[in-house]
Amino acid sequence: MHMADALISPAVGGTMWVAAAGLTVYSARKLKEEMDDRKTPLMGVLGALVFAAQMINFTIPGTGSSGHLGGAMLLAVLLGPYAAFITMASILTIQSLFFADGGLLALGCNMINMGFFPCFIAFPLIYKRVAGRGPDRKRILAASMAASVMGLLLGAVGVVTETFFSGISELSFKTFILLMLPIHLVIGVVEGFVTASVVGFVCRSHPEVLQMADESSKGNSISLKPVIITLAVIAALTGGFLSWFASTSPDGLEWSVARSSGNKELPAPAGKLHAFFSGLQEKTAFLPDYSFRKEKPEAPAANEAKKGNDEPWPGVSAGTSVSGLLGGVMSLVLVGLIGIGIRTFQKRKSK
């Protein structure tokens, strides 16, 4: 659901940048109150895992489309909403800057659509109420399904609304939203199953992780080393190997844009700010679209991926593996540094 700059006006993009920055500062302040040294490495390794997982698109039968996990709901369950939002914001920043996945002008929109709605709306209002304090397998599944679907549908509405108010594309609001909602409903169901599976595994094997995500458990002595090692191995395998098996079909947003406009890609806006952000991203994205840079890079698409059904599958590629592994490491390092910074500030203030 990564939006590109071709859908967003500078006014809407700037407004959402401010909103996302405010949420990041707010989350950092709240996290500072509950932060401990154990959560920092968990944030980093989960950031790497979600980065890798987002590279794997799965085919949606009968549509010609595909989807990928958002990961914010999983992060919220295992980390709490504040750490989850910061982790997701870090992942999206790395994807946009270094892999040309989502526009720089649209980065604030992506943080709101993929981070705010799952972490601050769907998680507290749906997941926590359905799962309760002592969740069993059935309640975890029901909570994960309902919250994941709601988070993705709210994000889809956000994409359509931001595009409509930007007014720089000719996409029909009615047609666009009628395409976006059903396709992301299906993606939400898949994400719900995956989230429930991971949370159920953690609940059975490492319940201390869920204890730490609960603010009331602050101060409990728990060791996260086994689960961190396990998640790190899964992240490396996912980014370095499983990413080859991503579907080559257009993702839900790309598919909806194509169906709404009749074109596979929207033309890049001619404004100066759009040109500036496009030029900046072309310079910073050294692995565009999760592959080695070509001699003549393609113009940014109107959405997150420029895939077509004529591409070989599986996409065995050193560029993809390098992107998955390096992107995971970058996410881990950035999120870890943020966690360390918050923790250091907390210690200094308490003295």
Q: What is the pTM of this model?
A: 0.92
pLDDT in tens, 84-127: 999 999 999 999 999 999 999 999 999 999 999 999 999 999 99
Domains of the chain: 5-350 (1.10.1760.20)
Count other Cβ atoms within 10 Å, centred on residue 169: 20
Q: What is the pLDDT of residues 12-44, one digit of tens each?
A: 999 999 999 999 999 999 988 876 677 889 999
Residue 218's pLDDT is what? 55
Ordered per-residue pLDDT tens for the chain, 351 residues: 899 999 999 999 999 999 999 999 999 999 888 766 778 899 999 999 999 999 999 999 999 999 999 999 999 999 999 999 999 999 999 999 999 999 999 999 999 999 999 999 999 999 999 998 767 889 999 999 999 999 999 999 999 999 999 999 889 999 999 999 999 999 999 999 999 999 998 888 878 787 777 765 555 556 778 888 999 999 999 999 999 999 999 999 999 999 998 887 788 788 899 999 999 999 999 999 999 987 554 444 444 444 445 577 777 899 999 999 999 999 999 998 998 888 887 777 666
Burial level of 48, CB count in 10 A (0-12/13-18/19+)? buried
Q: Give the pLDDT confidence score for residue 305 in this predicted structure.
A: 43
Nearest alpha-carbon partner for 260 in 332, 169, 196, 348: 169
Amino acid code (one letter) for 187: I
Closest by CA to 322, choosing from 284, 282, 301, 292, is 292
- Smallest CA-to-CA distance from 139 within 211, 46, 203 is with 203
